[in-house]
A = this chain, B = another copy of it.
């Protein structure tokens, strides 16, 4: 609905002594909730016996004292939060994915999208495989299990699988006795590693989950790195590292990640303030106040204020009682100028020349609505600054961007967009500045800004083949 969606957050913990890892994973997933609100799951592995709780909804809806207690103590736990399209199909796709295979059980958590999953799936099916889900994660599981038959350890199987699967994947996997973490060679998605004072080893999509469980961030996994935690401690396999260019998703810094997270050494909060500073340098303007669209525009607005000297203000009150069950006003009600989730503070806005910072413009609909609220609140001028370059292409690596046909930057020039959303002036962050967001160019993916795809692009045939009617197919 006018915004980008992240697809997942992953977490895993290894403890030498059996402990209440379910509760620990609960707090970690709660900290990662912003990465996926559609479903959540926890698997606790107690000496090879896997117990799980999963469900649709928020962490606070899926888990309750009773099902957390039923998970018992264990040595390993993995957890997952997921954003996904709704509907009946959801249930089977909820992660962690638990599979039984020749060598025992495996629970797998995945963040990212493969770019060759259709080809892999077809090949597996031609060899008799059956699939219960429509997820890439099940393809990855099969490849790992297939390699496991040839390799003498789960970590070697994961390493061998990484030669086969392509695209974005940050994985956390529990085998009966080991906790494995792996990050794809491009490093599209984040994955960090930390430790607690009492020696637990923890992996998570973001460091804010480490803070939530009292673990210290040690470092992020390198692109291509595999980490293995078991009774003999932690060890790393870097044999796949450095073979491909780092292509970290810049939207993790701009929008997805929490500002209190530190990713690949850079503070998300600081990157956002940097974005604001760059915008102030590139697109200066005379104005009375700088305000941000909550929540991801706030830090960029402070950066703009600090660089430009224009005072920062809180321009909106955001209703904090968000809930999946909230009934949104329909179009008719909205056109009455209703500001239900976001209400401008008239005392701050009225009579002012306003610099307004947001993280992106997708279709333009939401922006136009927000801008309209400011004009109604009495703004004299509105200078819109976007802390990212214009979107023009789809993402194949796990970000849910709208159809290219509806992206406003594909249809209009910057001047046209400014008129369309109704602002006085409009400025985007440049791709060059994006590359320097974290201080130096450490390798960002800029595919969605037109910067080129780092992997082969999936064929169209891959989509929705299970949803096609027979009468519309050539053959069955």
Contact = CB atoms under 8 A, between A and B. Distances in A.
B338 A214 contact: yes
Given A60-B323, A64-B325, A101 B129 contact: yes
Interface string A140-154: 011001100100000
Given A30-B326, A47-B471, A326-B60, A347 B149 contact: no
A1 interface: no
Contacts of A112: none
Chain A interface mostly: mixed
Contacts of A331: none
A82 to B, nearest CB: 14
B129 A129 contact: yes
Contacts of A468: 48-49
A132 B98 contact: yes
A319 to B, nearest CB: 7
Interface in A293-318: 295, 298-299, 302, 306, 311-314, 316-317
Given A49-B469, A177-B470, 8 more contacts: A30-B319, A47-B470, A68-B327, A71-B88, A92-B98, A130-B138, A214-B336, A302-B314
Contacts of A311: 306
27 contacts: A26-B327, A31-B319, A31-B343, A33-B321, A47-B469, A48-B468, A48-B470, A48-B471, A58-B321, A58-B323, A60-B326, A64-B325, A91-B91, A99-B131, A100-B131, A101-B130, A102-B125, A104-B476, A177-B470, A259-B317, A260-B316, A260-B345, A260-B346, A269-B314, A269-B347, A302-B313, A302-B314
A270 B470 CA distance: 46
Interface stretch (A205-213, A232-240, A403-411, A424-432): A205-213
Given A101-B129, A128-B146, A267 B30 contact: no
A141 to B, nearest CB: 6
Q: How many copies does the complex hold?
A: 4
Interface in A184-230: 197, 208, 211-214
Contact of A321 (B48, B59, B197, B298): B59
A348 interface: yes
A110 interface: no
Interface in A72-131: 87-88, 91-92, 98-105, 122, 125-131
B211 A343 contact: yes
Interface string A341-374: 0011111100000000000000000000000000
A212 B64 contact: no
A318 B23 CA distance: 20
B325 A48 contact: no
Given A212-B338, A346-B260, A473-B48, A54 B91 contact: yes
Contact of A259 (B260, B262, B345): B345
Nearest to A313: B302
A390 interface: no
Given A60-B323, A302-B313, A100 B54 contact: no
A282 interface: no
A471 to B, nearest CB: 5
A321 B32 CA distance: 10
